[in-house]
Structure 1
Amino acid sequence: MLRALAVPLLSLLLAAGAVAQEPPRVTIPNFWDPRIRLDRPEPGPPRVVRFLADDDYPPFHFTAPDGTLTGFSVELARAACERLGWTCTIQPRRFDTLLDALAENRGEVVAGAMNLSAAIRRRFAASHLYFRNPARFLTTRGNARPELDATQLQGRRVAVVAGSAHEAFLDRLMPLVQRRPAPSLAAALTALRSGDAEYLFADGVSLSLVMAGGAGDLAFAGGPYLESAYFGEGVAFILRKDDPALKRALDYALQSLWDDGSYARLYLRFFPVSPF
């Protein structure tokens, strides 16, 4: 969803480290139940864990100008390794080869930001979710409002990428909007800015990066939509089913990184505008 935006966004994402030093001004999602506390796993023998990730999918995993692999998922994996005292490598591979490489034992964990699905869960195990891809309504700043529901959208012109899950969502759950199907996100943005559409409904991460790199003329309206049937179950570290100790350790590390604020610092670094 974000590959077409990769080149113009690299400098933005790398410069965003300064944002993490400021008081949080964005919504940071929380995927951990405070009532459930995980015990730190026993140290066991030293282990080397190979993480696999694509290098062209900002803000989750991409190549920095100095040639290193970085991104939200990559740095979260590194932080988990440090927390657990592991020696880890992050190996770049083409996105469409990640799961096969994991199955063939060429790595222990996929840190590629792919939505979990029933098909993935049949083949692999997964850590606790550390991200979900929300859908959002985008509009011009003067038209933005914190609350926006289906009743308020009746008869409104809404741009949406044709054939997408977002169009299917509107068709099923908001049939009274006037859909303006577009062949691409760029075309849908053009429809919004030209006034042909009053709103744009699309992937919140893609829209947040558009906003972060724009002139401040656009804003979210209403809150995030997280219906898993349309927008996916969420993002987790993916691993083989034959290593339950690895899953328990990753779950502990992720919760620990949330508890001490490390997750929030990484989130602010790579999401200068929160999709939530």
Structure 2
Amino acid sequence: MRYFSPVVKPCSVRAFIFAVALALAAPLDAASAQSAPAPTPSADTAGAVMVPGFWDPKRRPERPDVTRLPVQIRFVTTEDYPPFSFRGEDGRPTGFNVDIARAICTELAIRCTLEILPFEQLVEALDSGKADAAIAGIAISAASRERTDFSDRYFRSPARFVARRGDPAQKVTPDALASKSVGVVADTAHEAYLRDFFNKIAIRRFPDAEAARAALQKGDIDLLFGDGVQLALWLNGTASAGCCVFVGGPFTESLYFGEGMGIAVKRGNDALRQSLNYALAQLWEEGVYTDLYLRWFPISVY
């Protein structure tokens, strides 16, 4: 997840704008996707991938009044946050966030555009009326709520443990890991969580994620603890060489790992916010969310 800095710094790289029509596309094919009924992680029957659900089936957002919506929704996102939003080989925006925005527009039957901006300019675009909604992995927090309103949460990155493939199966509890060495990036929420809840383990601090992963591959540590999304990308990529797998978890304590991601809108824009909530709930119920999740997270973060 991405957090806004209280000080807006100028972007050092020249940014350029790229707009693309999103809506009026054919509806996404969700016929082959499994839609779990509960707002807890569920298993896709084809690949045993755990798909998180954030929508309570007992809470049904009201269908939006289309007369209160704009003629189009102008989304803004970034290009530097794979797999959520980045440029594909053809130069066009792609990623989980882009697909979610497209699916929302299809669900609401409304035309949309998507514009690429530096992360620091997203809220300014909402406040100035240049954009209607920002879908860029923005973390929902007390600080960010002071600047924008948010849709319901549509994603949350948990913390996960990773072990070398083939190591003896073990329970991931404070007592079970008491004799283990666990790598973590220094001065992060993940380190703080380990010290508070797994204080019997031997914590090995590393300057960055790459160094921690290399230590796990070489067997210098028994396990690695970190962000589930980044670890899933590593496990699914060539850099890991198939060395390792998730064990235990997921860990989603909001105090340490945040409340999750939401779509930001200008403060007071309740009509759009409620419409986004309705569309997100429908995407989950219809299985579209599951379809998109499996596309971008073949190794589930849950």
**With structure 2 as the length reference, what TM-score do the two structures score?**
0.82
Displacement of 1:122 after TM fit? 1.4
Q: What is the one-letter code of the residue matched to 2:132?
A: E
Instruction: Tell me whether 1:88 sits opposite 2:112 in the alignment.
Output: yes
Secondary structure at the aligned position of 1:52 is classed as strand
In the alignment, which of 54, 57, 63 is matched to residue 34 of structure 1?
A: 57
Instruction: Tell me whether 1:189 sits opposite 2:213 in the alignment.
Output: yes
Q: What is the one-letter code of the residue matched to 1:126?
A: F
Q: What is the one-letter code of the residue matched to 2:247?
A: A
Structure with more helix by fraction: 1
In the alignment, which of 278, 288, 301 is matched to residue 252 of structure 1?
A: 278
Q: How does 1:120-131 map to 2 (within 5 A)?
A: 120-131=144-155
Q: Are 1:131 and 1:234, in contact at CA under 8 Å, matched by a contact in 2?
A: yes
Unaligned runs of 5+ in 2: 3-31, 34-44
Secondary structure at the aligned position of 1:151 is classed as coil
Matches of 2:47 and 2:66 in 1, distance apart?
34
Q: Are 1:111 and 1:237, in contact at CA under 8 Å, matched by a contact in 2?
A: yes
User: Measured at CA, do residues 147 and 100 of structure 1 come closer, stay the same or move farther in structure 2, by a change above 3 Å?
Assistant: farther
1:229-269: per-residue Cα shift (whole Å, max 9, x none)? 11111001011122101011000000000011100110011
Secondary structure at the aligned position of 1:90 is classed as strand
Matches of 1:39 and 1:176 in 2, distance apart?
49
Matches of 1:152 and 1:32 in 2, distance apart?
33
Q: What is the one-letter code of the residue matched to 2:263?
A: F
Instruction: Tell me whether 1:171 sits opposite 2:195 in the alignment.
Output: yes
Displacement of 1:144 after TM fit? 6.2
Instruction: Give the number of equivalent residue pairs.
Output: 259
In the alignment, which of 77, 102, 111 is matched to residue 53 of structure 1?
A: 77
Tell me the C-alpha RMSD between the 2 structures.
1.8
How many percent of aligned residue pairs carry the same amino acid? 41
In the alignment, which of 244, 248, 251 is matched to residue 222 of structure 1?
A: 248
User: Measured at CA, do residues 123 and 64 of structure 1 come closer, stay the same or move farther in structure 2, by a change above 3 Å?
Assistant: same
**Misfit runs of 4+, over 6 Å:** none
Displacement of 1:105 after TM fit? 2.1
1:155 alignment counterpart: 179
User: Measured at CA, do residues 76 and 168 of structure 1 come closer, stay the same or move farther in structure 2, by a change above 3 Å?
Assistant: same
1:50-88: per-residue Cα shift (whole Å, max 9, x none)? 111011111100101111101111110110011111111
1:80-109: per-residue Cα shift (whole Å, max 9, x none)? 011111111110011222223222222111
User: Measured at CA, do residues 146 and 195 of structure 1 come closer, stay the same or move farther in structure 2, by a change above 3 Å?
Assistant: closer
Q: Are 1:26 and 1:274, in contact at CA under 8 Å, matched by a contact in 2?
A: yes
Q: Are 2:206 and 2:212, in contact at CA under 8 Å, matched by a contact in 1?
A: yes
Q: Are 1:137 and 1:199, in contact at CA under 8 Å, matched by a contact in 2?
A: yes
Q: What is the one-letter code of the residue matched to 2:250?
A: P
2:268 alignment counterpart: 242
User: Measured at CA, do residues 146 and 72 of structure 1 come closer, stay the same or move farther in structure 2, by a change above 3 Å?
Assistant: farther
1:210 alignment counterpart: 234
Q: Which moved more, 1:78-87 or 1:44-53?
A: 44-53
User: Measured at CA, do residues 132 and 144 of structure 1 come closer, stay the same or move farther in structure 2, by a change above 3 Å?
Assistant: farther
Q: Are 1:144 and 1:219, in contact at CA under 8 Å, matched by a contact in 2?
A: no
Instruction: Tell me whether 1:231 sits opposite 2:231 in the alignment.
Output: no
Q: What is the one-letter code of the residue matched to 1:168?
A: A
Q: What is the one-letter code of the residue matched to 1:32?
A: W
2:223 alignment counterpart: 199
Q: Are 2:159 and 2:252, in contact at CA under 8 Å, matched by a contact in 1?
A: yes
Matches of 2:170 and 2:99 in 1, distance apart?
32
**With structure 1 as the length reference, what TM-score do the two structures score?**
0.89
Matches of 1:146 and 1:152 in 2, distance apart?
7
1:12 alignment counterpart: none
Q: Are 2:138 and 2:263, in contact at CA under 8 Å, matched by a contact in 1?
A: no
